[in-house]
């Protein structure tokens, strides 16, 4: 029988939910990120995941056709979306439109945890060429 309730442990881990690698090491640049799939179910055309970026860490700079719908539920940081960086904090919502470069950065002193809703059927991310990265990340404040 399907488990109805997955209790939270107060530290952003859930009963019956595995903490996974964000991505396989070496497939894309990132730093100190974990991934938990909170909801995926038959009959649900979407997945809800929880990503946690350790203090000073960041997700992969990437883009894809599928959209991201993000809500911060822990800490603070910055979201780079297109040509702007947004300060983000508790419960802020971030929409990443199709084929828009994006990256999430935790603040230097605390982790950034966010929910990310995506379609269950979705395309694979594209990575920028090395030469593009500097230009794309210019809006981020460096600390």
Side-chain half-sphere exposure of 69, counting CA atoms within 13 A: 7
Binding flag, residue 89, a copy of itself (CB under 8 A): yes
Nearest to a copy of itself of 27, 138 (CB atom) = 138
Does 136 help bind a copy of itself (rule: CB under 8 A)? no
Provide the mask over 51-80, with x wherever binding to a copy of itself is found by CB under 8 A and - wherever it is not.
--------------xxx-x-xxx-----x-
> Are 116 and 72 contacting, i.e. CB atoms less than 8 angstroms apart?
no
Q: Retrieve residue 121's tokens.
A: 């059927």
3-state secondary structure of 136: helix
CA 107 from chain centre, in angstroms, equals 14
Among 54, 12, 53, 35, smallest CA distance to 118 is for: 35
Of 19 and 90, nearer to a copy of itself (C-beta) is 90
Sequence-ordered list of residues with C-beta below 8 angstroms from that of 28, at least 6 positions apart, any chain: 60, 62, 125, 127
| Binding flag, residue 37, a copy of itself (CB under 8 A) | no
Least distance to a copy of itself, CB of residue 46, Å: 3
According to CB under 8 A, which one of 119, 127, 136, 140 is a site residue for a copy of itself?
A: 119
* Residue 133, H or E segment: helix 130-136
Q: State yes or no: is 53 an active-site residue.
A: no
Binding site for a copy of itself (CB under 8 A): 2-8, 10, 12, 14, 17, 38-39, 41, 43-46, 48, 65-67, 69, 71-73, 79, 81-82, 84, 86, 88-98, 115, 117, 119-120
Residues that are catalytic: 116
């Amino acid at each position: 029988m399907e488990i109805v309730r997955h209790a939270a442990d107060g530290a952003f881990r859930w009963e019956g939910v595995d903490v996974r690698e964000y991505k396989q090491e070496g497939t894309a640049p990132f730093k100190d990120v974990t991934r938990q799939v909170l909801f995926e179910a038959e009959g649900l055309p979407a997945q809800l995941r929880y990503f946690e970026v350790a203090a000073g860490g960041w997700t992969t700079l990437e883009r894809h056709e599928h959209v991201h719908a993000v809500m911060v539920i822990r800490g603070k940081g910055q979201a780079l979306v297109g040509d702007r960086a947004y300060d983000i904090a508790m419960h802020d919502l971030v929409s990443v439109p199709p084929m828009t470069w994006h990256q999430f950065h935790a603040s230097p002193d605390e982790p950034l945890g966010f929910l990310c809703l995506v379609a269950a059927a979705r395309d694979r991310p594209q990575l920028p060429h090395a030469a593009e990265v500097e230009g794309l990340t210019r809006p981020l404040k460096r600390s």
